[in-house]
Structure formats: C-alpha cells, structure tokens
Chain A
C-alpha cells in the first residue's frame, strides 16, 4: 500500500501574525511549523504504516526551506520526501497549487492520498478536493476516523450537525481534521536519519501534464486586494475567585451587565 501525504509549511500563528508593508505575510519573521491538519493526516498515514506496512511519501510545494518540514515528517517515520520548488511556481493560489501538486502526484504510484483539511495561513480547504478533481479520483473531506477494508477506505466524516460514514474505493483522497488523532513526536534517531536523508526535489520541468497557464501567480485566478490580521481582543480580566460558586456568580453578573443574559 502506498500513501502520499501532502503537507505544508505554515507560519506559526501562536506568536502573532506579521505582515510586510505591502500587506503580504512576512514569513521570514515568523516561526515555521507543519500545518496541524496535515500533521494529523501524516499521523493517520503512519498508523497505516504501523498496521499494514504502508509506504508513506510526504510531498510539499514551497520554498527550499520547506525541507525542514519534510525532515520533521521523515523524523516522525515517513519513508520518502519530495519538494516541489521553482520560482515560476511562486504566488500560487489554490487553483495553481492544486494543479501543480496533482502534476507532481502523477509522477508517483499511490493507493491513498491524504491532505489536511485546510492550512492555518489560508483557511481555504480547497487544495485537497481540487487535487482529487485534477486526478479524477474520489475525495472524502473532513475525515475524523478512518479504517481500511480490502481496497476500500471507510471514513467517519464530520459534518455541521452529524457524521457521515462513507466508503470509497482506492485510489482516493481524504482530507484530515486535526481531531483525527494525536500526532506522534519525532524520535532522536529519526532526526539523525532525517537530516542525512535525500529529499527528492522537483522543479517545474519535472512536472508532466501541466499547463503553464495554470501555475504560479500568473496562473492564479484569485487576486488578493489586501490582507490584514484579525482584530485583537483586549487582554481580558483575570479573576481569582475563592470557590466555583463565586466564579459562577461573577460570570453570571458580568453576562447580565453586558445584557448577554
């Protein structure tokens, strides 16, 4: 069984979001992490490796420094890592990104593709399903639980007010929720091996069946007018009540004061 996990290096928003003067994200000023939903997808794939001996390949599109995230995935237990990087691919929106990644995946054999539901820097949730569309395979989004039976995957999909139990024949694509699991840590030995491991690097020229009209900034139908940080809330108020009852009374009084109740 061959599993491809698409992962993305994203800025760690815990320390706050920083912008360049032109309104684009100042990625250099922020710490980079593996996107949390993608990490859950990777953990799901690694469990398939533990259980069925699946071969797990991680793939990302990004700047050369995204190799750090690929090495983290290798140190967690992934078998192979591929970086798609090329200046011609820069500035891609979800359409251009999914077109490019799908072209990369066409170079590989696979039974299952797992992506995160969405990346914390864009929150679109579009790339995973678009990749499936480009490849002409079924997609099940919002995977909260997953099991394999023969050549099928059975997925518990989170929906607004219910769960759906869905079945799909492989090859197919799943998008993973961070609730899917608790991702494992790297191991020290895994780190030492990962740092020495070869990472396959593909440029635009290594990608087949890809129209130049669908890549990079020029191939992106989305035009960003302006980006801004979310409005920060105040520092809040710290209250240290003596008992739970006192805490409840205080909260209720505050909610009444603000006419919430």
Chain B
C-alpha cells in the first residue's frame, strides 16, 4: 500500500491550488454575500478543462482519473464551497450518467460540449415529496408519438438556472415487483430552452450561497423520444448509481471545506494574542487542532480510497464502490461540520463575523451532511452492506 501521490497527481494538485488561490478565493466572500453565481470562474474552469476531468479525450474531456477530479473539487472547496459543488454537480451528476448510460449520439450531442465546459450540467431527482425516498416521485413522462411529454417539478436543483443540460427523472408507468406495484422510473436528458421547461423559486440558502439552486417546472414539456437516458424503467438504478459517484464529489467538497477551515485556523492561532502569547501556545488550542488535523486526515484517506475504487470500477464494472462512497461522504461531511464549528470557536468573536472565512465555511459545511443522501442515508447504505 502506497500513500504517496503520483507525479501527475502532485502536479494536478499544484495546478488546482494555484487556480483556487488566484481565481476562486478572491470572489468567495462576495459571491456568498450577494448570492451570485460565479460565471466568470466557471468560464475560466472550462478554459482549463476542469469541467471534464475524468472524461476521455476523444469525448472532449481531459482523460484523467477520478482522483484528479476529486482533488479539483477538494482544492476549489478549500477556498470556496460554492465553486466545489458547481464542479461536482456538473461532473458527477450530469456528465457521469450520460457517459455511463448515454448512446453514442447522446454522447456526441451532450457529453462532448459538457466535458469541454461549453455547456453546464445539472441533475433533477429531488421533488418536494421525494428526496431520500425516490419512490415518492410525482413528475411524469408519457410517450406521445416520437416525443416524451414531461409534467411535474423538481426542487433544490444545483446549477439550477445556470445549467444547459439536465438529467431528469420521471415516472413512466407502474411495474410489479415482488408482488407490489412500484413506480417505473426513467431518466431523460432535457435541454434548457425546451418549451414547457421553466424555473420556479430560487432557494435562499444558509450556505453555498453562490450556487444557483432552483425549482425546475415541466408543463407539457415535449422532448425527443431519443432523449430517454438508458433503458426505460431503469431510472432508479441510474439515479442510485449516479448518486454513488456524486457522493464522492460531495465528500471531496466536505474534505476541502474542513482542510480550508483547518488551514485558516492554524494561521489565525499563530497571530492572535491573548494574555501576552499567541493562542496557539495554549494547550486547549493545540489539542483541538490535533484532533481536527487527525480527523481531516482520516476523512482524506476515505475520500481518496473511494475515488480509487470508482476508478477500479471503470475497468471492472462488476465491482461496487457504493459503500466506500457512503463511508467517505458520511465521514467527510461530519468532519467538515465538526472542524468548521471548532474553527469558528477558535476564532472567538471574529469567527462569527462575515469578514472571516470560517464563518462562511461553517455554513457551507452543513449542506454536505444533507444533499446527495443525508448522513442517515449513508448509514443505511453502510449498515445494509454489513448486515446482508
């Protein structure tokens, strides 16, 4: 077992860290305060290939591996949780299912521009009555001639109004499974601008405020028959498989937030003086930092392990990385919440003030315990595997 990074990964980390420091960090506070989507950063990331990292070169991507993508989300999130989730939702939730389940024509039409960053992607599964319980879906798709007609709505959609291509799930009928009638769910690719596809409420969130989180509304929205993604009725499997990958992206975001808060706090405790010495000289601070650093390191190992497992899956689809992804997300999200909360505490009153980055990091961290499967759902996934 070798824990050292390869030359490629060392250079990629250096690239992402430099980009984050120069291009992302200067905007982090402003986009948070103004709830502004950082379009200029997305354009720059597109220029440098950050929006197609794990996609093969012949499909417009960078031809790198899952770990490189994870390090990109991690480094962006160290300075800005919003930027991290933009990359993660685009790559894990939109590119990945099209790359995995798309036809050659769908890949040519949608994957190539998504991987080049010419288009931004989003994913719509959640509905007001169907978050963790995907069977609660209400959005329907009915085949009418050569078109599917979508009706319903999706909520809390990341990259909501800013995306161009959406992977959307809808009920296409009912099927009997183990003697029970279950909803048949299918996946579709929907383009922005399709008549009948509009945007509802913009969510006013606690954190990741620069991220564009919208309700998507479908009213007799007609899309070509060919925009069915994967087989009819396989939507639930596609959604679950996509979320397994998405969880690694969110785990990387959580890891980055924890690392960013730890780094900021280490610098702060060296400078901040109380009772005639820096607060870093007090044993309480030292012990808190030791615990924070240890937990961050543990989270990092789980996140990187999940990334490597997903990479292994790509050459051997028989293996599963579902448990590794759930463990990575569960651990990293809870570490992010704990470390950012302690970071605020170690900053004292200043940590509660918006000029200090840890205030934003703590708000940003909370969502990582909730979206793409709450921590409770991750525990269900892990325990189901242990007890099977």
Contact = CB atoms under 8 A, between A and B. Distances in A.
B11 A189 contact: no
Nearest to A71: B11
A216 to B, nearest CB: 30
Contacts of A188: 12, 15, 48-50, 53, 62, 64, 68, 72
B246 interface: no
B64 A185 contact: no
A185 B61 contact: no
A124 interface: no
B8 interface: yes
A195 B63 CA distance: 13
A191 B61 contact: no
A195 B269 CA distance: 39
B11 A187 contact: no
A33 to B, nearest CB: 10
A116 B262 CA distance: 38
Given A72-B11, A186-B11, A187-B49, A192 B18 contact: no
Given A192-B62, A192-B63, A192-B64, A185 B48 contact: yes
A186 B15 contact: yes
Interface string B53-72: 10001000111100010001
A189 B15 contact: no
Contacts of A189: 49, 57, 61-64
Interface in B4-31: 6-8, 11-12, 15, 18-19
A191 B12 CA distance: 7
B59 to A, nearest CB: 12
Interface string A165-190: 00000000000000000001111111
Contacts of A195: 6-8, 11
Nearest to B72: A188
A49 to B, nearest CB: 16
Interface residues of A, number: 14
Nearest to A196: B8
Contacts of B48: 184-188
Contacts of B53: 188
B19 to A, nearest CB: 6
Nearest to B62: A189
Contact of B19 (A72, A185, A190, A191): A185
A187 B19 contact: no
A15 to B, nearest CB: 15
A194 B62 CA distance: 13
Interface in A62-84: 71-72, 75
Interface residues of B, number: 19
Interface in A23-38: none
Contacts of B12: 188, 191
B11 A185 contact: no
Contacts of B68: 188, 192
A75 B62 CA distance: 12
Contacts of A72: 11
Residue in A184, A190, A191 whose Cβ sees the most chain B Cβ within 10 Å: A191
A192 B57 CA distance: 11
Contacts of B7: 71, 195
Nearest to B15: A186
B8 A187 contact: no
Nearest to B19: A185
A92 B68 CA distance: 39
Interface string B319-335: 00000000000000000
A185 B18 contact: yes
A194 B15 CA distance: 13
Contacts of B11: 71-72, 75, 186, 191, 194-195
A71 B8 CA distance: 10
A75 B61 CA distance: 15
A184 B18 CA distance: 12
A187 B50 CA distance: 8
Nearest to A193: B63
A145 B64 CA distance: 35
Nearest to B9: A191
Contacts of B19: 185
B162 to A, nearest CB: 22
A223 to B, nearest CB: 37
Nearest to B7: A195
Contacts of A184: 48
A188 B16 CA distance: 9
A110 to B, nearest CB: 28
Residue in B7, B11, B50 whose Cβ sees the most chain A Cβ within 10 Å: B11
Contacts of B62: 187-189, 192
B336 to A, nearest CB: 24
Interface string A71-103: 110010000000000000000000000000000
A185 B50 CA distance: 11
Contacts of B18: 185
A252 B72 CA distance: 46
Contacts of A187: 15, 48-49, 62
A192 B18 CA distance: 18
A215 to B, nearest CB: 31
Contacts of B8: 191-192, 195
A185 B7 CA distance: 17
A50 B11 CA distance: 24
Interface in A239-261: none
10 contacts: A186-B11, A186-B15, A186-B48, A187-B48, A188-B12, A188-B49, A189-B63, A190-B49, A191-B64, A192-B64
Interface of A: 71-72, 75, 184-192, 194-195
Given A188-B49, A191-B12, A192-B68, 15 more contacts: A71-B11, A72-B11, A184-B48, A185-B48, A187-B15, A187-B49, A188-B12, A188-B50, A188-B64, A189-B62, A189-B63, A190-B49, A191-B8, A192-B63, A192-B64
> Nearest 3 pairs between A and B by C-beta?
A189-B62, A187-B49, A188-B62
